[in-house]
Chain A
Amino acid sequence: MKKLIIALAASAAVLGGMSGAAQAQEKTKVCFIYVGPKTDGGWTQAHDIGRMALEKAMGDKIETAFLENVPEGPDAERAIERMARSNCAMIYTTSFGFMDATMKVAAKFPKVKFEHATGFKSADNVATYNARFYEGRYIQGQIAAKMSKKGLAGYIASFPIPEVVMGINAFELGAKSVNPDFKIKVVWANTWADPGKEADAAKALVDQGVDILTQHTDTTAPIQVAAERGIMAFGQASDMIAAGPKTQLTAIVDTWGPYYIKRTKAALDGSWKSEQIWDGLKDGILTMAPYTNMPDDVKAMAEETEAKIKSGELHPFTGPINKQDGSEWLKAGEKSDDKTLLGMNFYVEGVDDKLPK
């Protein structure tokens, strides 16, 4: 009945031509827009889990709503504007492709607070947020170098955007810190989620002799292939241990919940301001799934690296690092700045692939 009243009230509001925050509302409405289905098992699902955590933590102070499967394009602008018009006080736009749409709508609704994931444009009412996933990839690389007998890992990549290239490089650097001759083979699946294609890519890599797999695509298909072929693999975006109880070494788990709670609280108490946030392991925005299926010394090493990254003692992109062609990128002790990382379009030495341009 309550829902009915809300629905009727909402439609009455629209019918009456009231589009702003005209109604007296005790609950603040927080809205999310997703590029994929909320149960994609990967990226979008992680955001939806964050949304539910937010709902749970804030109780009846807020209500949440979401739109899923919104294509990146003119539909996104309409969807975001619809949210702004239906009294959403805060809108999280959770895909890079929503960037321009977010900026356009934000300009029209200065009182609504926007948070755009993984983008690089901001405004007074648009903050950006992202996680330093590369920190997790560095740890994975170290584990891979310890666990791989051949010193050769397979990397199933989605699209050659900086985020993905950065991940490949971090993985390689982590691996090289253990085994200087470690190599990565990369296959671009050109999809975020197509289990069949991801499985094919995994099989191709295994057939070419890699004995450890990692992925930057969303489904559990590669882990299933690894399990079948008896090699080890890493999970992506969420803990995929169910797909390979004896296969998954660890996984990078996106944990947006604490971030959403922190920012929504700030919005409620008035302390929210536009920021460009790039949190890492220490902030809990990404966590490592339990280190499993590995000897104790490898686990100890991984835990030590994780602690060092959290404390700030270790930055994965610290020189000396050469680019793929052997030219120098970072001098000994020099750390990469965030700007270079966020626009990364080159490989470091040891990646056995030509970066698609």
Chain B
Amino acid sequence: MFEAILLTVMTAATPLVIAAMGELVAERSGVLNLGVEGMMIMGAVCAFATAHMTGSPYLGVLAGIGGGALFSLLFGFLTLTLVTNQVATGLALTILGLGVSGQLGESFVGLAGTKLQPITIPVLSDIPFIGRVLFAQDLIFYLSIALIIGVNWFLFKSRTGLKMRAIGDNHGSAHALGINVVRTRYLAVLFGGACAGLAGAQLSLVYTPQWVENMSAGRGWIALALVVFASWRPWRILAGGYLFGAVTIGQLHAQAFGVGIPSQFLSALPYAATIVVLVIISHNRRTTLINTPASLGKPFVPDR
């Protein structure tokens, strides 16, 4: 039973982790994109529609990534080229995304989905317990782990990552050093969109292979929360995402056990937990300040 619960938690946590990784990169470059929910739902609808029409869930995954990325480009154009306010533009992006996806998906409601099947890795999956949990998963789960390792390496070990962090910390001096701020941010926003789209694809191809209007149901907002919860650290996103998933699933189990607590309180637990952990983390002034991108959300226009 423990194994089964763990697998459920992993399915619930994966979209959160992926979308949060994308947002983390965007925020590290100094862009606050509150439109994660909108990009996620666009990814979900593109992935479902493509998988349904072609019969290939893998093309669906690609379409989800593409859909999310394309949609984030709209945000990029407004906030980076036209320097509109990032908070307002992100919220507007979510409104637009919910509308567009509802319209696109209208003819796909109620259709049987195409589930992304697990890929069992030989030998490794034979390890007792761990094997079945870690090495008999679907492509998107593997991608989520690869993303964390990749982003962690990129941010802290690569030159481009260093430049990106420099932009996030102080775009003025980064620009003075000859780094192309706007281009880097465009790429970061695109990456964020692609990740949100991939997370959406996980919803409509793995989590629940179907299309329902508004099916992201606020998970984009939780992903945003995770980024701050993780104080902009990739590995902490993994931990936070799984903690969030565990509390969500745990409260359902508590109910099934017949624990007599009103379900609303159990449902509120993950949010309360986030606040508590947030307080604990940010209480330590130094670590938070070091990780927070100082120019987050601030507009940048290169002087000429």
Contact = CB atoms under 8 A, between A and B. Distances in A.
Direct interface between A and B, CB < 8 A:
yes
A185 interface: yes
Interface stretch (A50-58, A191-199, A248-256, A276-284): A191-199
A37 B219 CA distance: 20
Interface string B189-214: 00000000000000100011110111
Which of B8, B212, B219, B263 has the most chain A CB atoms inside 10 A of its CB? B212
B267 A193 contact: no
A143 to B, nearest CB: 22
Given A39-B109, A242-B111, A356-B262, A200 B252 contact: yes
A267 interface: no
Interface string A64-99: 000000000000000000000000000000000000
B252 A187 contact: yes
A185 B253 CA distance: 11
Interface string B85-129: 000000000000000001000100111110000000000000000
Contacts of B112: 242-243
Contact of B258 (A37, A194, A200, A354): A354
Contacts of A224: 113, 208-210
Nearest to A201: B252
Contacts of B210: 41, 195, 219-221, 224, 243
B177 interface: no
A328 interface: no
Nearest to A39: B109
B12 interface: yes
A190 B255 contact: no
Contacts of B267: 190
A106 to B, nearest CB: 30
B204 to A, nearest CB: 9
A195 B109 CA distance: 12
Given A204-B252, A208-B253, A196 B110 contact: no
B4 interface: yes
Contacts of A185: 256, 258
Contacts of B231: none
B116 to A, nearest CB: 13
Nearest to A194: B217
Interface string A133-170: 00000000000000000000010000000000000000
Interface in B29-85: none
Given A190-B264, A195-B208, A207 B215 contact: no
A47 B243 CA distance: 40
Interface in B211-229: 212-215, 217, 219
A207 B208 contact: no
A351 to B, nearest CB: 10
Interface string A25-49: 0000000000001011100010000
Contacts of B215: 194-196
Nearest to A241: B112
Contacts of B113: 224
B260 interface: yes
Given A39-B109, A196-B203, A196-B219, A205 B208 contact: no
B69 to A, nearest CB: 23
Given A190-B263, A195-B215, A200-B248, A41 B8 contact: no
Nearest to A209: B1
Interface in B248-282: 248-249, 252-253, 255-258, 260, 262-264, 267
A303 interface: no
A208 B257 contact: yes
Contacts of A203: 4, 8, 249
A186 B258 CA distance: 8
A279 B102 CA distance: 34
A307 B217 CA distance: 41
Contacts of A204: 5, 8, 249, 252-253, 255-256
A190 B248 CA distance: 12
A310 B264 CA distance: 38
B51 to A, nearest CB: 15
A207 B5 contact: yes
Nearest to A222: B208
Interface string A170-192: 00000000000000011110110
A124 interface: no
A104 B129 CA distance: 61
Given A37-B102, A40-B212, A194-B215, A200 B264 contact: no
A23 to B, nearest CB: 32
A229 to B, nearest CB: 9
B106 A195 contact: no
A41 B213 CA distance: 10
Contacts of B8: 200, 203-204, 207
A353 interface: yes
A207 B253 contact: yes
A100 interface: no
Nearest to B108: A39
A187 B217 contact: no
A110 to B, nearest CB: 36
Contacts of B260: 354
A201 B5 CA distance: 11
6 contacts: A187-B256, A196-B217, A204-B249, A204-B255, A224-B210, A356-B263
Given A186-B255, A198-B208, A242-B111, 16 more contacts: A39-B106, A39-B110, A190-B263, A190-B264, A195-B207, A195-B210, A195-B217, A196-B215, A199-B208, A203-B8, A203-B249, A204-B253, A208-B1, A219-B210, A220-B110, A243-B210
Cβ-closest 6 pairs across A and B = A195-B208, A39-B109, A204-B252, A188-B263, A354-B260, A221-B208
Interface of A: 37, 39-41, 45, 154, 185-188, 190-191, 193-201, 203-208, 219-221, 224, 238, 242-243, 352-354, 356-357
Interface of B: 1, 4-5, 8, 12, 102, 106, 109-113, 203, 207-210, 212-215, 217, 219, 248-249, 252-253, 255-258, 260, 262-264, 267
